[in-house]
Amino acid sequence: MTTSIRPTAAESGAGATARFKTDKSVGAAGTSSDRVDQLAREVIEAVHATIRKHKVTYAEYNAVKAWLIKMGESSEWPLFLDVWIEHVVEQVATENRKGNKGTIEGPYYVPDSPECGSHGVVPMRENEPGTPLTWTGRITSTDGSVIEGAKLELWHADDDGLYSQFASGIPEWNLRGTFTADTEGRFEIRTVRPAPYQIPTDGACGQLISAAGWHAWRPAHLHVKVSAPGHELLTAQLYFPDDVHNDDDIASAVKPELILDPQTSQDGSSQTVSYDFVLDPASA
């Protein structure tokens, strides 16, 4: 057993909000006021259309208002947006890709994780719970050429479904590491299988899920960012074939190309898997 404590919505939300403000809160200065006008107006008009269609009441309007206020107070905007909106942004952003399929980043990426070489063990605790997993792969460009020195950043939840730096009691860089492809573009990563992730039930996101009668689960997944000079950054997640939530991920982020095919060892105690990446050259 581990000693980590399941974070409250406000705790993990505060961490994700701080992370976002540090890394990505840069605005979109190139967006014209005409475009802001059009996008904002269409989103607002879509809400008006739903209100008219379903004859939304004042009681319902005030319930939504209270819920939006709670979303801010529990710092859950990053979680809400990444679970229910990001997958469409990702689809639009990557629709012309010829190389690897990607998927959403989610709220728990942290840059500059420890260097692990080309063949290495991701930082983990002594006796880290979970089935040991050895993952070998290769990183090439869409023309088939090897990309020596390509970088693979890995981050994932532990066997309790918790992410380091977003839950207390876990070492800072636990299950977060940066691998570098060798001269043949190859890497080997030793880690443990993550557990499925449950959206916190005590915050605004959890409130929506229970009010709507949805479930709160993401299937178990490994997050990666694969990058190399002259190539588009690939953000992806890899999934396991035996997970019941691959078909109804609350974040709509599973694609068939991203499901692994792990092999279990003779004694059943560990798994190996092979998965390669193909990166698109950066568009000029």
Q: Give the binding site for ligand MBD (CB under 6 A).
A: 79, 82-83, 104, 106-108, 197, 218, 251, 253
Which partner from the list ligand MBD, Fe ion, none does 251 bind, CB cut-off 5 to 8 Å by kind? ligand MBD
Shortest spacing between CB 276 and ligand MBD, in angstroms: 22
Residue 189 burial (CB < 10 Å; 0-12/13-18/19+)?
A: buried
Q: Are residues 141 and 202 in contact, defined by beta-carbon separation less than 8 angstroms?
A: no
Distance CA 151, CA 229 (A): 10
DSSP assignment of 88-132: HHHHHHTTT--S-------S---SSPPB--SEEEPP--TT-SS-E
* Comparison of 132 and 161: residue with beta carbon closer to Fe ion: 161
Helices 204-212 & 77-84 angle (0-180, nearest 10): 40
Which partner from the list Fe ion, ligand MBD, none does 83 bind, CB cut-off 5 to 8 Å by kind? ligand MBD
Shortest spacing between CB 270 and ligand MBD, in angstroms: 24
* Comparison of 181 and 222: residue with beta carbon closer to Fe ion: 222
User: What are the phi and psi torsion angles at 45 (to 5°)?
Assistant: -65, -30
Shortest spacing between CB 261 and ligand MBD, in angstroms: 21
Residues found near Fe ion in the complex (CB under 5 A) = 106
Which partner from the list Fe ion, ligand MBD, none does 209 bind, CB cut-off 5 to 8 Å by kind? none
Shortest spacing between CB 237 and ligand MBD, in angstroms: 7
Which partner from the list Fe ion, ligand MBD, none does 82 bind, CB cut-off 5 to 8 Å by kind? ligand MBD
